[in-house]
Amino acid sequence: MMQQRHKMNMQVAVRRLGSAGGVLSVCHGPKIHTVLRRLSAKAQSPRPILSVAPIRALVDEKFKVSVENLPPAAPVTVHSLHQSEDQDCWEAYGHYISDHRGTVSVSEDLSFGGTYSGKEPMGLLWSMRPVPGSRFGLRLRKMDVCAPMLVNITVFSGHEGFREHAPLASVVTERWHVAPGVQRVEVTIEGMRGTLFIPPGLGAFPGVIDIWGGGGGLPEYRAALLASHGYATMALENFALDDLKGKNLDLNYFEMALDKLKNHPQVISDRVGVVGLSLGAIFLLYLTAESPTFKPQCCISICGSNILSNDGTLNGFYNSMFRNINKSRLDENNSLIWQDVGLEMLCDPTSLVDVGKINCPLLLVSGTDDQSWPTPKFADLMAQMMRSAGKEHLVTTLAYPDAGHLIEPPFSPHFRATAFKVGGNNKKVIMLWGGHTKPHADAQEDSWTKILTFLKQHLYSSH
C-alpha cells in the first residue's frame, strides 16, 4: 500500500532500508539519526531506475515499463497495485530476469510467472486481481471518470517471496478515461439519466449512444473513452434486469435519446451510431430492427442477442428471456450459469427479432466461453438472418475463443464471476460470466481496436 509522506521537519516516520541481508523497518528520531546515515551510506549502492512511459495515459493506451541499473541477471518482480473507489486492492505481478546491462523491459522481456507469463506489455493491468484476503466476486469499474485511475508500479528483488523484500523503486502512473478538454454534461430524458461526453473544441462530431447491461445504473467509462476518440457519446442509464419484470414501459426512452443526440448542436445528425453490451445490446438490436424511428448509422452489439419482446414492453423482454429460467444451473462454486436459459430461445423464432430488417452496418462481438448467455450462437443466428435477407455485406461477426461475457475496454481485468443483483429483492448471486483471463484480455484489446475502426469507418469516413 502507499506509504505516508515524509515531512521535512523529520517527525517520526516509518522507513524501509534495503540492505544486503534483508529488510530493516525503523521509526526514527534524532538519536539514531547518525546511525541511519552511516547505514544508508553503506546501502548507497547503485539504485535501480524504474520508468513508465507515458506516465499519464488514456486507459486504452499501452505503456512501456522498464527497470534499469539492476545487477545483471538479477531476478526481480514488477508489481502493480491499485486501490479502487470501493477501497478494494487489486494487484498483478510478473517475474523477470535482468539482462547483462541490468535492464528489464516489460514490453520486450518474458515474464516467468506471477499473475501473467510470457511477453505481455500490459499484463500488469489486465491480469490484476483482488489481493489475497479480499471479498469474493469483486468487479473493478471506474465510476468517477473525471479523475484518473492511479496505479502504483513497484519493482522488488526476487521471485518467490518477493513481498518480504523492500521495494527497489516505485512510481505512480495515471490511467484516464477522459482526454483533456472532454466535457461531461448530465442529461435527463423522460426522467431517466444520461451523461453526454463531448470532445473538446467548438465543432460538431459524430455521435454514439452507449448502453450497458442488466446491472442497471449508469457506468460512464466507455462513453468517456469514446469521446476521447472524437465521438460525442451519450451513456444511458439502463434498467436492471429485475426492473424489467412487470414494467409496461416501452423502449421509447432510448428512441428519444437517439433523437436528442442527433439534434444536439455539436453532433452531426447523420453520423450517429449505437453500441451496447448484453441487455443494452438486446434493446439496440430490437430497436434498430423494429422501430421505424430508431435509425443509427451503425450498430455494435457486444454479447447481445436478438430477443423479441412480444408486446414491445420491458416486461415482454423479461418474459421472453426467462421463460426457461428453470434451465439455469450452478457450477462447482455455486455460481449461477444462465447459458442454457438462452439456448432454448434459439429454436423458437417467435421469441427472436428478425435482424434481417436492419439496414445499417452491424458488428457482433461475443466470447465463446460466455457462460451467462449463449451469445456466440445468437451472433451466428443473426449473421444467418442477415445473409438470408441479402445483407451479408453489412454484418461482421467477431467470436473470441475463450472470452467471457464482460468484454470491456482493453487492459481492464477479467471477471469470470461477480456478484450480480437478481431476483427482485436486492439479492445478489455470483453470476458466472465465463472466459479465461489471457484469452479474455486479448479479446478486449482486439475488439476495442475493431470497434474503433468500425466506428471510424462508418461515422467519420463514409459518405
Partner 1 sequence: MEGKKRPVKLSVHPSRGLVDEKFTVLVQNVPPGFQLTVHALHQCEDGHSWHAFGHYTADSTGAVNVAEDLSLGGTYSGVEQMGLLWSLRPVPGSKPGLRLRKMNVQTPMEVTVSVFRGHQTEGFEDQGPLVSVVVERWYMAPGVCRIPVTEGGLTATLFLPSASGLFPGILDLWGGGGRLVEYRAALLASRGFASLALDYLTPKITLGTGDRVDTEYFETAYRVLQQHPQILSSRIAILGLSLGSCISFKLAVYSQVMKFRCAVCINGSHVQPPGESVQQTLRYIRFSKGDIKKFNFNEKNELSTRNLVLPIPTDPTRKVDVGRLRCPLLLVVSEDDQSWPAVESAIDMKQMMEQAGNSHLLTVLSYPNAGHLIEPPYSPHTRSSNFRTTVDIKSVVLKTLWGGETVDHSRAQEDAWRKILAFFRENLYGRGSALVSNL
Q: Which residues sit at the interface with partner 1, rule CB under 8 A?
A: 2-6, 8-10, 13, 15-16, 28, 33, 36-37, 40-41, 43-44, 46-47, 49, 51, 53-58, 61, 69, 148, 150, 167, 169-174, 176, 179-181, 199-206, 228-230, 264-271, 456, 460-461, 463
What does the angle CA 91 – CA 92 – CA 97 come to, to the nearest 5 degrees? 140
For the CB of residue 323, give the shortest distance to partner 1 in the complex, in Å. 44
**Of 40 and 248, which CB lies nearer to partner 1 in the complex structure?**
40
- Residue in 95, 405, 440, 458 annotated catalytic: 405
Contact 275, 298 (CB under 8 A): no
Contact 65, 42 (CB under 8 A): no
For the CB of residue 282, give the shortest distance to partner 1 in the complex, in Å. 30
For the CB of residue 252, give the shortest distance to partner 1 in the complex, in Å. 24
The DSSP line for 166-223 is PEEEEEEEEEESS-TT-EEEEEEETTEEEEEEE-SSSS-EEEEEEE--TEEE---HHH
Q: b/e for 393-409, b at 16 or more Cβ within 10 A?
A: ebbebbbbebbbbbbbb
- Residue in 95, 301, 370, 440 annotated catalytic: 370
Backbone torsions φ then ψ of 162, nearest 5 degrees: -60, -30
**Of 44 and 350, which CB lies nearer to partner 1 in the complex structure?**
44
Amino acid at 280: G
**Of 61 and 250, which CB lies nearer to partner 1 in the complex structure?**
61
For the CB of residue 393, give the shortest distance to partner 1 in the complex, in Å. 21
**Of 112 and 460, which CB lies nearer to partner 1 in the complex structure?**
460
- Residue in 66, 80, 157, 278 annotated catalytic: 278
For the CB of residue 123, give the shortest distance to partner 1 in the complex, in Å. 21
**Of 69 and 397, which CB lies nearer to partner 1 in the complex structure?**
69
**Of 37 and 135, which CB lies nearer to partner 1 in the complex structure?**
37
Q: How many CB atoms lie within 10 A of CB 31?
A: 7
The DSSP line for 117-128 is -BS-TTHHHHT-
Q: b/e for 62-83, b at 16 or more Cβ within 10 A?
A: ebebbbbebeeebbbbbbbbbb
For the CB of residue 271, give the shortest distance to partner 1 in the complex, in Å. 6
Name the residue among 279, 253, 309 with its Cα closest to residue 420. 279
9/30 Cα distance (integer angstroms): 11
Active-site residue flag, 278: yes
**Of 57 and 419, which CB lies nearer to partner 1 in the complex structure?**
57
For the CB of residue 207, give the shortest distance to partner 1 in the complex, in Å. 10
- Cα distances from 185 to residues 25, 30, 97, 196, 268, in angstroms, run 49, 54, 48, 5, 18
The answer for residues whose C-beta is within 8 angstroms of residue 355's C-beta and 6 or more apart is 285, 288, 289, 306, 362, 382, 385, 386
Rg (the chain; Cα; Å): 25
**Of 202 and 325, which CB lies nearer to partner 1 in the complex structure?**
202
On the 0-12 / 13-18 / 19+ scale of CB atoms within 10 A, 388 is: exposed
How many residues in total does the chain contain? 463
For the CB of residue 8, give the shortest distance to partner 1 in the complex, in Å. 5
Active-site residue flag, 370: yes
**Of 76 and 432, which CB lies nearer to partner 1 in the complex structure?**
76
For the CB of residue 109, give the shortest distance to partner 1 in the complex, in Å. 21
The DSSP line for 134-153 is PPTT-----S-TTSPEEEEE
Cell of 318: 423479461
Q: How many CB atoms lie within 10 A of CB 221?
A: 22
Cα 285 to the chain's mean position, in Å? Answer: 22
Catalytic residue numbers, as ranges: 278, 370, 405
